[in-house]
Amino acid sequence: MLELDNVVRSFGDKVAVDHVGFRVADGTIAGFVGANGAGKTTSMRMIMGVLAINRGEVRWNGEPATAGDRRFFGYMPEERGLYPKQPVLGQLIYLGRLRGLGHEKAKRSAIGLLDRFSLADQCEAKLESLSLGNQQRVQITAALLGEPALLVLDEPFSGLDPFAVDSMAEVLRELADAGVGVLFSSHQLELVERLCDQLVVLAGGRVVADGTPDELRRRGQTRHRLVTDAETGWVHDVIGVTVVQEGNGTAVLVLATPGAGDRLLTEALSRGSVREFAELVPSVADVFREITA
């Protein structure tokens, strides 16, 4: 299990990461969301030991994370390219060897993974000759070398077409099912909502929310939509109802009590026929906008 405990990092006067704390359990996919500059990349770099921590601690299985531990963390930085002019397999072997795999083991691991991504025939191709999606697959391969216990991926889905997104999501799910903890950052909130077991929302260097997508959605305000074939101006006068938006026979409302819903529906039926009366559960994206605003 990965654990960040009150981690702080500042650059000069600017505090980039401000007492950030959260956990990612083994076998969990955790989405790391936040606006640009919220501190996601800085946090990930500190997890990977690439950037020094000013205060606080990164722990692995309850102990301060060591360089030895981090050799079992697969990492994919944000701007990627590896070595564009080098053959795919060669650079994967190199990175595997740096992580402590022997030459043979690194090679076997790399070939196995490339095969898994249907890139086995591209071993000797230069990286830059591959399509963007395939380059991304090589990137993730680099992170997966030597069976990591934790994956830290900075924007793994950016720039991928929908098919590549699906196959990447599938890979992450598979790894999580095998017990690997996954922490990835993304701006694609629908994807995060669909894929993640856990969401960590960062704003201004602080964690503003941490929980399952359901828990997060429940933090938002549930609204109701009423659609009738008559005018809806009367909704303003119903007690216990706050109008968010109204017009053209449709009203979006917040109900103070369940009783207010009954009153509203009765009134609507007396004025004409009701086409729709439904609960609007906010999406993660809605909640994200609400809590980071």
Partner 1 sequence: MIETATTTTTTASAEDTPPVHTPLPSGKDSRRVRDQAWWIVASREMSVKIRDRGFLISTLVLLALILGTLGAQVAIAASGEKVTVAAAGAESGKVINAADALADQAGESVKITWNPMASDAAVKAAVLSDQVDAGLQATPDGWMLIGKTDRKTTAAIWIGAAVQQSALVRNAAAAGTTPADLARGGALKYTLLSPDETPEMVAKGTTTVFGFLFYLVAVLLGASLATSIVEEKQNRIVEIIASSIRLRYLLLGKIIGNTLMALAQMVVFAAVGVIGLLTMGKSDILEQITPGLGWFFLFYGVGIAVLASIFAAAGSMSGRIEDITSTTTPTTAVVAVVVIAGISASGTLLTVLSFLPLTSTITMPGRIVAGDTSWWEPVASLLISLVAAVFVILVSERIYRRALMQTGGKLSIRQALKLTD
Give min distance, CB of 253 to partner 1, in A.
32
Which region among 177-185, 222-230, 233-241, 242-250 touches partner 1 (by CB under 8 A)?
Answer: 177-185
Q: Does 5 bind partner 1 (CB under 8 A)?
A: no
Q: Does 82 bind partner 1 (CB under 8 A)?
A: yes
β-pairing verdict for 73-76 and 150-154: parallel
| Sequence-ordered list of residues with C-beta below 8 angstroms from that of 270, at least 6 positions apart, any chain | none
Which of 19, 23, 126, 271 is the binder for partner 1 (CB under 8 A)?
23
What's the residue count for the chain? 293
Q: What backbone phi and psi angles, to 5 degrees, belong to 185?
A: -100, 150
178 vs 278, beta carbon nearer partner 1:
178
75 vs 117, beta carbon nearer partner 1:
75
Neighbour tally for 205: CB within 10 Å: 22
Torsion of CA 241, 246, 252, 258, to 10 degrees: 20
Q: Does 14 bind partner 1 (CB under 8 A)?
A: no
Q: Does 61 bind partner 1 (CB under 8 A)?
A: yes
Which of 13, 36, 52, 121 is the binder for partner 1 (CB under 8 A)?
52
Question: In this structure, are residues 55 and 8 in contact, taking their beta carbons and an 8 Å threshold?
Answer: yes
- Radius of gyration of the chain, Cα coordinates, nearest whole angstrom: 24
Question: Concatenated DSSP letters for 209-271?
Answer: EEE-HHHHHHHSPPEEEEEESS--GGGGGSTTEEEEEEETTEEEEEESSHHHHHHHHHHHHHH
Contact code string over 196-235 relative to partner 1, x by CB under 8 A: -xx-----------xxx--x--------------------
β-pairing verdict for 55-60 and 2-11: antiparallel
Q: Does 68 bind partner 1 (CB under 8 A)?
A: yes
Which of 32, 73, 157, 288 is the binder for partner 1 (CB under 8 A)?
73
Q: What distance lies between CA 260 and its chain's CA centroid?
A: 37
Q: Does 126 bind partner 1 (CB under 8 A)?
A: no
Size of the residue set binding partner 1 (CB under 8 A)? 59
Give min distance, CB of 33 to partner 1, in A.
16
Give min distance, CB of 266 to partner 1, in A.
41
DSSP β-bridge partners for residue 20: 7
Q: Quick one: how many helices (H) and strands (E) in the chain?
A: 10, 14
Q: Does 62 bind partner 1 (CB under 8 A)?
A: yes
Which of 80, 107, 217, 224 is the binder for partner 1 (CB under 8 A)?
80
Question: Concatenated DSSP letters for 61-91?
Answer: TTEE--HHHHTTEEEE-SS--S-TTSBHHHH
Which region among 139-147, 187-195, 272-280, 285-293 touches partner 1 (by CB under 8 A)?
Answer: 139-147
Q: Does 174 bind partner 1 (CB under 8 A)?
A: no
Q: List contacts with partner 1 (CB under 8 A).
A: 1, 3, 23-26, 28, 45, 48-52, 60-63, 66-73, 75-84, 86, 94-95, 97-102, 105, 142-143, 146-147, 149, 178-180, 197-198, 210-212, 215
